[in-house]
Amino acid sequence: MEEKPKNLLEIVYGDYQHHVTISTSESGDVDERVVYMEDLEKRKQVFGICGKCKEPCTGYKWCQPCNAKRFKDNFKNWTSGNKIIDEFIQQSQLNAVHFKKCLEWIPFEKFQNITYIAEGGFGKIYSAEWPEGHIKSWDIENQEWDRVQLDKFALKSLKNSSKISSGFLSEIKSYLRIYLYDIIQCYGITQDQNTREYMMVLDYCDHGNLRNYLNILDYYISYRSKINKLQQIARGLLDIHNAGKVHKDFHSGNILYDEDYPYISDLGMCQPANNEQTVKEERIYGVLPFMAPEVLRGHQYTKAADIYSFGIMMNEFLSEEIPFNDIPHDEFLAIKICKGLRPKISEDIPKLLADLIIKCWDAEIKNRPTTKVLYQLLEKWCKEVRKSKSSEIYSQVEECDKIGEKKFKNKSNKDKPKNIQTHPQAIYTSRLLNFKNLPKPINSTDLSAIQMNSDVNYNIQSISECLDVQLSELELNEICQDDESNT
């Protein structure tokens, strides 16, 4: 008989535990941040008791059996006009153990002040007001849904979704299956009346993506704060991996900021981590500077590839420099990445953080930390920079923050660039990439980009090597042929 996971109620902090669920890794380890709510008395204490059936709720003020019946009784009162969409929403409502697992069909006319924001690799994003707001719980006294009115919601369309593309439903399924906290919430589906494309109704993040967040701030962000934010992002990535998925498109453009809190978005490319697709079937999409070298070579996307992308994102966050922004994102850059080129690590970054970045983007998959180790390490540092003055990370952060604050004060806000110039062929939206015969990934032996105060045992490449790269087709072929002969 399979052993039941231990009750972890005492380990949970804040309001992280939202509903009855078990999040496990492929090895069967229970995520220590998720409670196994087998004990009915503890469920009553945490989630409350249903006002109708008097049974313990499955989520805060959420009774799955009673709410499922309410939803089912209302099926006859709405339709999207598409059977596939209707059944998809209905199943989410019948199975929901918490409002974050519940979808609605939302008629397009219920949205107001719809405003175009941006276009990504796979669709367009709009902001909109939804006065009615999303479902949160059942109001037993007034016999209606208690709803949450937010200032704005985001509407995300996917190209060609008017034909119910598998990608559209796949992304929504990912939002429903992953334990939601550090990941953007999906509340329902609507349909643009003009284009007929279906749209996801999502949380709206007022500060945009990570890059925009860094660009608009007019105050110094301490390393203490940045470590905390990185820990939150790593926690969201851990939730994705614990659900048996890989993100596949992890980059700074998919880290969104709502007020001062980061969320992972764009789960459209999420797929099972044990996907058995062959290399020939695997189509490579992504943002080149964030893609692991083995993925660029056409190998299967893995959790370790997400860790590589996390390392690139982490360096951008800490250094506040866009990776490879002044060179073309083409096959020559892909070759350089495979041969060990990485973005420069700022000399002002604490050594322990620089070491972790280098481990994450190591060319050898086995040298990268697991997501659990990554999260636990960042969580440990979060605690130490707040409380442990004798710790190594505390002293490093203390020193680097003094340097950073001084530099920031010496640089007037008017001098801070609001629109960073990038090379016209530097592309930061996801796209189909198709590189052939790339070299076998290696770590560079050039140590010139390592900070003077660091004695790390990992190799990073000087960014100066990639500036103004101009390779002829003959040189490109010679590089690939040399590598093939060596392997």
Q: For residue 372, give Cα distances in angstroms to 30, 160, 237, 249, 379.
A: 11, 37, 9, 19, 10
Structure confidence at residue 225 (pLDDT): 95
Structure confidence at residue 216 (pLDDT): 83
Structure confidence at residue 323 (pLDDT): 95
**Cα dihedral sign for 102, 306, 317, 128?**
negative
φ/ψ of residue 10, rounded to 5: -65, -20
Residue 10's nearest CA partner among 59, 44, 46 is: 46
For residue 475, give the H/E element and its range. helix 473-486
Residues 6+ apart with CB under 8 A from 10: none
Q: Where are the alpha helices (DSSP H) in 178-302?
A: 210-216, 223-242, 293-296
Length of the chain counted residue by residue: 487
Domains of the chain in start order, with CATH, are: 80-203 (3.30.200.20), 209-273+283-410+424-452 (1.10.510.10)
User: Tokens for 243?
Assistant: 């659900």
Q: Residue 189, Cα to own-chain centre: how many angstroms?
A: 21
Q: Residue 130, Cα to own-chain centre: how many angstroms?
A: 25
Return d(Cα 11, Cα 89) in angstroms, integer: 34
Q: HSE of 271 in the Cβ direction (CA atoms, 13 Å)?
A: 14
User: What's this model's pTM, rounded to 2 decimal places?
Assistant: 0.80
Contact 152, 204 (CB under 8 A): yes
Residues 6+ apart with CB under 8 A from 416: 218
Return d(Cα 24, Cα 163) in angstroms, integer: 35
Per-10-residue mean pLDDT of the chain, 487 residues long, equals 35 42 43 48 79 87 94 96 91 90 95 90 86 95 94 86 67 68 87 90 90 87 96 91 87 90 79 48 82 94 96 96 93 95 94 97 96 94 92 95 88 54 84 89 66 36 33 43 45
Return d(Cα 265, Cα 250) in angstroms, integer: 9
- In DSSP notation, 164-178 reads --HHHHHHHHHHHHS
Structure confidence at residue 282 (pLDDT): 57
Paired residues of 155 in beta bridges: 126, 201
Structure confidence at residue 47 (pLDDT): 80
Q: Residue 439, Cα to own-chain centre: how many angstroms?
A: 29
Contact 78, 113 (CB under 8 A): no
Fill in the amino acid letter for 203: D
